[in-house]
Amino acid sequence: MSAKDRAFKKIASNLFKSSDELKNFSPIEIQRKNRTMLCVSKLLDNPMLEDRLLVEFLMNGCGGACDPVSQSTAYRDLASVTRICGNIQLAGKNWYRYIIIEASKKGIRIAEAQKDAKGIAANSDKIGKYTRADKEDDTYDWSQMLPPSFEPTDDVSILGDDFKEYTPSELESKRKEMRLLFNSKAKGSEFTDADIIE
């Protein structure tokens, strides 16, 4: 594991812990953890937030909660945030569907309070449309899934153009070369028998 991966794992596994709980963190690591935590929270609050705005947020010191950072550090932190959250924007359609459904639920509550039957029906219709409640669930046609067909062959040409077939004398010289290589490695090694587990 590289140093970058170790640093990322250290921060990601302690992301929402307080600074008092972080005994083996340097002050720089605590700052980075705090920046990452604030950005993850900000992104979870608004999944459609553009990367550009997160970078500006980091460069401006996370609204005064942290020290301002350079643009390159902000992009490095953004990479960590994206690694933790994933690319939430890829789920954009589902996010908008969620927003529409939540707004429709709120519309139903308002319509119920005003005893507006048409408002309730319109919002219910909107929920039905976006949850596809009016359609049957798509069933997967399992007959279309075919197992792979493996055909054994002794035709070496299927290995590609880079494959070189050895003549019997070349093959024997290659075998000798391999025996010498592995015997020399084996002589300097100690071997122990494995215990048999029943």
Indicate the domain borders of the chain: 3-86, 92-131
The CA distance from 26 to 24, in Å, is 7
Residue labelled with tokens 């919002």: 123
Transcribe 135-186 into DSSP letters.
Answer: SPPPPP-GGG-----------GGGG-TT--PPPHHHHHHHHHHHHHHHHHHH
How high is the mean pLDDT of the chain?
A: 82
Q: Are 54 and 62 in contact (CB under 8 A)?
A: no
pLDDT at 61 over 80: yes
- State residue 91's pLDDT score: 63
- State residue 167's pLDDT score: 84
64 vs 157, more confident: 64
The CA distance from 46 to 100, in Å, is 15
The pTM score is 0.46
Cβ-Cβ contacts under 8 Å for 4 (sequence gap 6 or more): none
